[in-house]
Amino acid sequence: MGMTISQKILAAHANRDFIEAGELINCKLDVVLGNDVTAPVAIAEFHKLGLRKVFDQDSIVLVPDHFTPNKDIKSAEQCKIVREFAKEYSIKNYFEIGQMGIEHCLLPEKGLVGPGDLIIGADSHTCTYGALGAFATGVGSTDMAAAMATGEAWFKVPESIKFIYNGKTPRWVGGKDFILHAIGDIGVDGARYMSMEFTGEAISSLSIDNRFSMANMAIEAGAKNGIIGADEITMDYIKGRVKRPYKVYQSDPDAVYVRTIEYDVAAMEPVVAFPHLPENTRPVSQATDVSIDQVVIGSCTNGRIEDLEVAASILKGHKVHSEIRVIILPGTQAIYLEAMRRGFVETFIEAGAIVSTPTCGPCLGGHMGILAKGEKALATTNRNFVGRMGHPESEVYLCNPAVAAASAIKGKITPPWEV
């Protein structure tokens, strides 16, 4: 009996030749990640252990990104804890103002994660790195503390669901729509503690930025991880970035899956998730009666250069609707700089949008775009729970960057082909 990619990565890091779903195993880790919300809790637990060193100064990554630039005294204190820990323990990969970015955009860009890696992060969207053929998953701050000390973590080997995307991808449709479609199909707990493996013709032709969007939202279906087998597109991306050894794994033909689900993307439209769950999805053509107050383009889901390129291509020569606020958040400083070089930032500002420094900001109701009572936001972010972006009686709709840009112009949810 064969193994899936996820099983192979876990087995290799547990020094095992074969593992089955349901087993409890202990694994060596390649990367341990924390941010300004979760790392301070982990650091406090680390100190309780009375330790004076971390397992590997190069394998811990700390990125203050959720409430930065510091929005208030409390967030400043949180970042100070992380900063001082990084200095005391000589953490090489500490990224703050000027070097930082949204963590799940920054780590791949810096070459800190690669194919075959086993990565845990005290942030649920750590599953983003599955786009590179890595096993990446979110954990609690206590697990992060133990991992910083030992370089190890225990796992229950997840079962796997294979998602096969067939057909040629239509214009304006991308990875965000693929994953929203799947979540709408199986529900927010449809892959609970399972591995979501994405494959098929449409995935093979999908850009790396779109793959990151897909893997990023596996957690929204309850998954332990999302993963795409590394191929030439992956290799082109990591070339010159990942400077340490890595290994590419592919699923065996006789690997066991609890389900195999196939989609034909040829007739797929951009997808919009209505409040208050990512599973509450509709094709954009069935969502056009919703007026909005704010548009957010960015986040760890859709803050990469291709996302900004799509938005700029639609906004160019247009003006943002007079009653709409549009906030654009590049995922990293490098993405911001590239957007400037390509003229995207000028396009956004001329259209009437604002461009923020890289930060999670409004995605989690942090800052830079909080919603008031009764307001509606259309966002390229990943969650639309009650109160996610502010007031409990506000609403968040999720979409891809093309729909977000088109809707910013029209003042209501709008298919991009209508602009």
pLDDT (tens digit per residue) in 18-72: 999 999 999 999 999 999 999 999 999 999 988 889 999 999 999 999 998 999 9
Q: What is the pLDDT of residue 219?
A: 97
The yes-or-no answer to whether 5-262 and 271-418 have a common fold is yes
Q: Which CATH class is domain 271-418?
A: alpha beta
Q: How many CB atoms lie within 10 A of CB 163?
A: 28
Structure-block tokens of residue 416: 């991009």
Computed on alpha carbons and rounded to an integer, the radius of gyration of the chain in Å comes to 20
pLDDT (tens digit per residue) in 295-338: 999 999 999 999 999 999 999 999 999 999 999 999 999 999 99
Which CATH fold topology does 5-262 show? Aconitase; domain 3 (3.30.499)
CA 201 – CA 374 distance, rounded (Å): 42
Q: Where are the domains of the chain?
A: 5-262, 271-418
- Shortest CA distance to 407 belongs to which of 317, 329, 294, 302? 294
Do 394 and 387 meet the contact criterion of CB atoms below 8 Å apart?
Answer: yes
Structure-block tokens of residue 290: 């919703």
Q: What is the pLDDT of residue 52?
A: 84
- Shortest CA distance to 105 belongs to which of 338, 310, 389, 327? 338
Q: Which residues, in sequence order, are CB contacts of 226 under 8 Å at separation 6+?
A: 127, 130, 131, 179, 195, 196, 197, 198, 214, 215, 216, 217, 218, 219
Q: What is the pLDDT of residue 99?
A: 87
Q: What is the mean pLDDT of each run of 10 residues along the chain (419 residues)?
A: 96 96 97 96 92 93 93 94 96 91 96 97 97 97 95 97 97 97 96 97 97 97 97 96 95 97 96 96 94 96 97 97 96 97 98 95 90 96 92 96 98 95
pLDDT (tens digit per residue) in 37-48: 999 999 999 999
Structure-block tokens of residue 22: 């349901």
Do 269 and 415 meet the contact criterion of CB atoms below 8 Å apart?
Answer: yes
